[in-house]
């Protein structure tokens, strides 16, 4: 016996089958998402446990760190620099320790650094240090003190600018002293890096020697910069006072640019100049030529045209006219 379907029943059956097929597909998608979640949790656990995961499709032996690759990858200014072991080099902008600004060295180290920071080097001593630890050769001449561009120099020379004088010459000298510290610092870096790689044992005495050389050169630059600041300030007061800028204040200045001793010397210096100026003014008054106010008033005048003659001519005659 064959049962006939009611009108519209075939259409309802087709709609039901489509809905069933959609539900089965959604169940399959849910199972796939669950499997991916399990994989994600597994990878997260591996990262938390400290295990390094190699890149997908690459074994650890296929990812060596080379200097050429590091230099090529650091072409951009924002790219992080890495050492041969793959560790990022120090970046001061990334320093976020709450006590990073606190540093208290040992007593004798603090005394040595404080003394050298206010002690300029002699010309001979600086030349010896520069010969012992010269500046390294860096890409782009980064270790060289920048020179003024020829086009700028040519333009300024027309207006009377001199490269051997002025503010730029003084600042260039200070910058030159700052860049001198690259010599011992590069030597120290090379020594520590070789000890870290295991190529050689660390010689502590040599390392301390390079540190002391860098401190001496940095102190020389610091004193030169302080002298230029004092010179710029005293120029606004009186150009005669700029000769006192070479005197470095004592350790009792307590972080001041001039210090109490410097201010006392400045006071006596100003009094001396004031007394000299007053003496010069008095000498000008004493030895000034004695010239009357009316002297030379009637010079280069023709005879008979004096003031008194004209005055007489203007007066009436004493005798009445006949």
Whether 100 maps to a domain, the answer reads no
| pTM (2 d.p.) | 0.56
For residue 195, what is the domain's CATH number?
A: 1.10.287
Average pLDDT, the chain: 72
The band of 63, judged by pLDDT with boundaries at 50, 70 and 90, is: very low
pLDDT of 54 higher than 70: no
Query: In 3D, which of 149, 241, 133 has the Cα closest to residue 189?
Result: 133
pLDDT tens-digit readout, 207-217: 999 999 999 99
Averaged pLDDT, 78-89: 83
Residues facing residue 88 across a β-bridge:
82
Distance CA 175, CA 145 (A): 7
Helix (H) or strand (E) holding 37, with range, is helix 9-48
Helix (H) or strand (E) holding 313, with range, is helix 307-314
Whether 225 maps to a domain, the answer reads yes
Whether 89 maps to a domain, the answer reads no
In the block, which residue shows the tokens 């004088």?
165
Is the Cβ–Cβ distance between 114 and 251 less than 8 Å?
Answer: yes
Is the Cβ–Cβ distance between 180 and 222 less than 8 Å?
Answer: no
Domain that holds residue 160: 107-239
Whether 167 maps to a domain, the answer reads yes
Mean pLDDT check: name the lowest of 29-38, 219-228, 273-282.
Answer: 29-38
Give me the phi and psi of 216, to 5 degrees please. Answer: -65, -45
pLDDT tens-digit readout, 268-286: 776 776 666 666 676 666 6
Give me the half-sphere count of Cα atoms (radius 13 Å) on the Cβ side of residue 126: 18
Higher pLDDT, 51 or 215: 215
Alpha helices of 59-203 — where are they, by DSSP H? 67-73, 107-117, 123-132, 150-157, 167-179, 182-197
**Amino acid 292: pLDDT:** 53
Number of domains present in the structure of the chain:
1
pLDDT of 189 higher than 70: yes
């Amino acid at each position: 016996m064959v049962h006939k379907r009611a009108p519209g029943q075939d259409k309802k059956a087709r709609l039901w089958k489509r809905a069933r097929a959609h539900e089965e597909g959604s169940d399959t998608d849910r199972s796939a998402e669950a499997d991916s979640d399990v994989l994600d949790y597994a990878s997260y656990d591996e990262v938390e446990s400290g295990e390094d995961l190699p890149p997908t499709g690459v074994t650890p032996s296929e990812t060596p760190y080379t200097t050429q690759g590091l230099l090529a990858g650091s072409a951009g200014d924002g790219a992080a620099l890495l050492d041969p072991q793959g560790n990022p080099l120090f970046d001061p902008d990334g320093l976020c320790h709450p006590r990073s600004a606190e540093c208290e060295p040992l007593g004798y180290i603090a005394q040595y650094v404080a003394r050298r920071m206010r002690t300029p080097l002699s010309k001979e001593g600086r030349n010896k240090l520069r010969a012992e630890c010269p500046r390294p050769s860096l890409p782009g001449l980064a270790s060289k003190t920048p020179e003024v561009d020829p086009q700028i120099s040519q333009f300024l020379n027309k207006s009377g600018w001199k490269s051997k004088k002025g503010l730029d010459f003084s600042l260039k000298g200070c910058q030159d002293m700052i860049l001198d510290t690259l010599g011992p610092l590069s030597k120290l870096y090379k020594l520590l890096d070789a000890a870290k790689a295991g190529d050689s044992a660390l010689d502590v005495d040599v390392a301390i020697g390079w540190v002391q050389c860098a401190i001496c050169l940095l102190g020389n630059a610091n004193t030169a910069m302080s002298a230029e600041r004092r010179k710029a300030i005293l120029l606004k007061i009186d150009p005669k006072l700029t000769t006192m800028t070479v005197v470095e204040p004592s350790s009792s200045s307590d972080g001041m640019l001039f210090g109490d001793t410097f201010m006392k010397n400045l006071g006596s210096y100003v009094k001396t100049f004031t007394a000299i100026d007053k003496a010069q003014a008095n000498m000008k008054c004493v030895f000034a030529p004695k010239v009357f106010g009316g002297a030379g008033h009637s010079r280069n005048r023709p005879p008979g045209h004096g003031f008194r003659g004209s005055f007489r001519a203007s007066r009436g005659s004493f005798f009445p006219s006949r």
